[in-house]
Chains A and B, each alone.
Chain A
Amino acid sequence: MPKELWKGNEAIAEAAVRAGLGAYFGYPITPQTEILEYLSRRMPELGRAFVQAESELGAINMVYGAACAGVRVMSTSSSPGVSLMMEGLSYIAGTEIPAVLVNVMRGGPGLGNIAPSQGDYYQAVRGGGHGDYPRIVLAPASVQEAIDLMGLSFDLAEKYRMITLVILDGSVGQMMEPAEMPPMQEAKRKGFDWATDGAMNRERRVLSSIYLNPHDEEQTNFRLLKRWKDAQASEVRYKEYFLDDAKYIVVGFGTAGRVALSAVREARAQGIKVGLLRPITVSPFPYEALDQLTGQAEAFLVTEMNMGQMLDDVQLAVRGRVPVEFYGRPGGVVPFHDEILDEIHRIASGPLAVQSNPRESWLARMTA
């Protein structure tokens, strides 16, 4: 199929359609509304289900219902809307059924603004909803990657009977890039042996997240964790740039990772041995890759469009063996590459101490 110039949000919508999306439920919120708008035309055209819900609460619970029926279903929203969906996410996790949720993140907390942000990393990766549940989180950095990850998100959700979140900042949703779409898949129910699709000629089924006996709930938690171990073993994805001989390693996801790439290239041109690791799955996180890189690294630089959230995961991988530094732009500000280049220069001119909380020195530099 030839490349076309796709806007991120519309590309996500079409890629989901091509992945066999059977139902979509959403609510307008900037900067993801184009997904809703696109699907309001596209889904009925294909005879598939589309509802503009009364709220994000309504939307995620429609997703919950359709997921119980065994179709590929998704919702999309942006940060404040995703907060409202946390109830449904926890129930979907507890019911062990697959669903996909896209968060086109914007500046926060609160109403914040509509500018690109990565402030919902913790919410996506650590949980957000109540209870103890793992979830897969994919973080595309380009339009093509967003397209590719949409298909993957449904496959993984079904393979692990788990929520898959796709988190991108508003700029990936709004940008246009040449990209290629995968072939169309039909929206067919796959005959899952758990789906509540009407007990025709079989034993009835019940889908629920309720386990009143704590020991049953404990077993459910164990089951979720075992499934998560499998996902951790098989599904970690990341992209490496200039890492072979790198002494300084930048880690950034999504747009922050892209901006870092520009900085790393320029630093390389200046002879600095710096590389970049851009996680594509931020959950499961590439702990092992970073653990191994710790052997060759003199220092890490984590760059994010927030106050240092993925930073925790990098520190967990590095475990204090070498310094981990942080540079972030929260609140909806997108860094320019020269800011990250300055940080690379600072780190390469060393020596640095290992800090338990690199945010403190970062904040001091930012507010000096």
Chain B
Amino acid sequence: MQKEIIIAGFGGQGVLFGGQVLAYAAMDNGKEVTWIPSYGPEMRGGTANCTVVIADREIGSPLVKNPPLAIALNLPSFDKYEELLAPGGTLIVNQSMVDRGAKREGIHVIMVPCNEIAEEIGDRKLLNMVAVGALLTALPEIKVEDAEKALEDHLPARHKHLLPKNFEALKRGFAHAQKEWDKAPA
């Protein structure tokens, strides 16, 4: 088994931490995992992305050109990864930040209004956890409970009071995506 995920968006949308939650959950499930950010000036507010590779053997390349799984939290990332996604792959799109639907055939594009769901929960910053929850519908190796446990075990103590809302964001994202899957032709 090997799965590659790219999470992309603006700096400040929680791209890197979203990937780390996946990495922690994979590690706690006994998997090999590599998390690698794009680093540098883009850290300071431009576009950001990270790649997470999960496998059950020694991981080779930490980077992937055509990921089977991706999250696009803004329009530039949607444009980029709709094109780069591996055939048959799944792209979770933050519907709140894009003004168009899917163009490409042969991939699954799941629209999730991450900002709105996060605002309903009461913290706009949780949009990344909504998206990660949605992604888990296409990543059976990690269950929502695994991601919750990863947050519980690895979130810094000063953020522990945010756990319930993070859990809610994961669940709401997952549920929304599940509905989209049910609507879409397989």
Contact = CB atoms under 8 A, between A and B. Distances in A.
A115 B32 CA distance: 24
A258 B62 CA distance: 8
Contacts of A174: 36-37, 39
Interface stretch (A17-25, A124-132, A330-338): A330-338
A35 interface: no
Contacts of B60: 258-265, 337
Contact of B63 (A3, A259, A261): A259
A177 B34 contact: yes
A264 B60 CA distance: 10
Contact of A5 (B39, B65, B154): B154
Contacts of B107: none
Interface string B56-67: 001111111100
With most chain A CB atoms within 10 A of its CB, the pick from B32, B40, B61 is B61
A260 B20 CA distance: 25
A175 B35 contact: yes
Contacts of A336: 61, 63-65
B62 to A, nearest CB: 6
Contacts of B37: 174
A170 B58 CA distance: 20
A175 B36 contact: yes
B165 to A, nearest CB: 23
B65 A338 contact: yes
A294 interface: no
A255 B59 CA distance: 11
B14 to A, nearest CB: 16
A258 B23 contact: no
A258 B61 contact: yes
Interface in B1-51: 20, 23-24, 27, 32-37, 39-40
Contact of B35 (A115, A170, A176, A338): A176
Contact of B20 (A5, A114, A263): A5
Contacts of B40: 30-31, 113-115
Contacts of A115: 40
A40 B17 CA distance: 24
Contacts of B35: 5, 175-177
A295 interface: no
Interface in A257-278: 258-265
A30 B39 CA distance: 9
A265 B60 CA distance: 9
B65 A334 contact: no
Contact of A178 (B32, B39, B64, B65): B32
Interface string A127-161: 00000000000000010000000000000000000
Contacts of B58: 261
Interface in A146-191: 170-171, 174-178
Nearest to B63: A334
Contacts of B33: 5, 177-178
A328 to B, nearest CB: 16
B52 to A, nearest CB: 9
A159 B115 CA distance: 58
B39 A31 contact: yes
Contacts of B59: 142, 177, 258
Contacts of B34: 142, 175-177
Nearest to B41: A114
A177 B32 CA distance: 8
Interface in A207-248: none
A174 B48 CA distance: 14
B63 A5 contact: no
A304 B68 CA distance: 26
A259 B39 contact: no
A171 B64 contact: no
Interface in B63-79: 63-65
With most chain A CB atoms within 10 A of its CB, the pick from B37, B62, B64 is B62
Given A114-B39, A177-B33, A178-B33, A171 B23 contact: no
A178 B61 contact: no
Nearest to A258: B60
A261 B61 contact: yes
Contacts of A170: 39
A142 B33 CA distance: 11
Contacts of A265: 60
Contact of B27 (A5, A30, A31, A255): A5
10 contacts: A5-B24, A30-B40, A114-B40, A115-B40, A142-B34, A171-B62, A177-B59, A258-B60, A261-B60, A336-B63
Closest 4 CB pairs of A and B: A262-B60, A261-B60, A262-B61, A176-B35
Given A115-B40, A171-B62, A171-B63, 7 more contacts: A5-B35, A5-B154, A177-B59, A178-B32, A258-B62, A336-B61, A337-B61
